[in-house]
Structure 1
């Protein structure tokens, strides 16, 4: 069964390069500055049928047409956060330094804010007419209270009934997360992020995108010689 994957991350962390490596599809409007890509790119990986979208810092407040990106991300089954772990002076980092854990927490906060805004809009419109709508309101308020404490929807101990009531909201913080560490090939670049992910039960996958791209350009003989 096809699985949709949302590829998210701060500007200039390697989302476009990762997208190309995974799907073998070129990115339109790629550039070394924030908000270079407006329309989401969609590609298909050989192993399944995931669709890769993008999210940028500020999306929850509409920065850089972020709300449009969020609408795509809400439809995915898995959020894959691309985190920059490689040092590269020529590629400007939006936060001025390389710190994948900080970047992860920035995006997580954006997802939390997006879910909070969604709940706020719903509660303003929700009219309690019966027991079900009353229960839905109570669950939304519970989720809201916990999100304000930075507790994700996926971390809440909800009953089966409560989960069913909010299923249609497709909360961003209720989706499984994969950490895709884009590094230069040295283990020390990703060790801290790996340990951080393990402590929080997050799936972790290191990928040296630049090195893999260089390997693609080698001949069969050269690849065999390098092992």
Structure 2
């Protein structure tokens, strides 16, 4: 399931005008990663929270060996790679969904991207400021904390929009067709699960739907474990634990969603 959502993310960035947003706690390496994408120190990467306020934005080429092969076959004098926009978004903290740490503004910036790149700290360095604990690093807690804030923010938006969408479904055939999906998404969010857990089999629809495309947890997402230089090649125990947790969480959410879909289908017969 996690691999499937990552594939959806890769497909999203191959399209024109796709934007990816770097999301996570303050001081977990988002700006450093942004600079790595760019190849220069465009974004300030200082050792204090909220170093970034306004998003840093850049467009970078997407490496694709097929372009060079096609260029050679066609005799092209110039090759132009597909471009993707990378946005370095300010760090979120616990309570962001209620406005803590300028959370409302930062959440609004995340809603404007098509793919979420969730950066999680998987290195231990007491000299690097951390909003929770610079010594006892817990990537799973950090990941879940940010996901919880995004889910709460989506629940608030969905709760406000659903009454209007229900009313629209009485006069629009298309809205009537989508309403069961909207209701399933709201139910998932109310249960503390991300919106994508209710989009099994219809994930591609989310990016084209006016309502679903505004939900952060409905967007394709890739979790990036930021390890130290010595662990860059093989990862570390922090990254392994995080990867296992994300895979298990996504599989559990998908299984629950499929069970609910099966139950709904049986009830409708």
Superposed pair shares fold, TM > 0.5: yes
* Shorter-chain TM-score range: 0.7 to 0.9
Partner of 2:35: 20
Deviations 1:184-209 (A, max 9, x none): 1333342212322343459xxxxxxx
Q: Over the residues paired in the alignment, what is the CA RMSD in angstroms?
A: 2.9
Distance 1:146 1:80 in 2: 22
Partner of 2:186: 144
- The match for 1:99 among 106, 122, 138 is 138
- The match for 1:117 among 156, 161, 186 is 156
Size of the aligned set, in residue pairs, is 200
Structure 2 alignment gaps of length 5 or more: 1-14, 63-82, 252-269
Give TM-score, length-normalised by structure 2.
0.64
Give TM-score, length-normalised by structure 1.
0.74
Mapping for residues 62-211 of structure 1, pairs under 5 Å: 62-96=99-133, 97-123=136-162, 128=167, 130-132=170-172, 139-157=181-199, 167-169=209-211, 170=213, 171-184=215-228, 185-186=230-231, 187-200=236-249
Moved more, 144-153 or 75-84: 144-153
Task: Answer 1 or 2: which has greater helix percent.
Answer: 2
- What's the offset of the Cα at 1:157? 4.9
Is 1:52 the equivalent of 2:101?
Answer: no
- What's the offset of the Cα at 1:137? 6.2
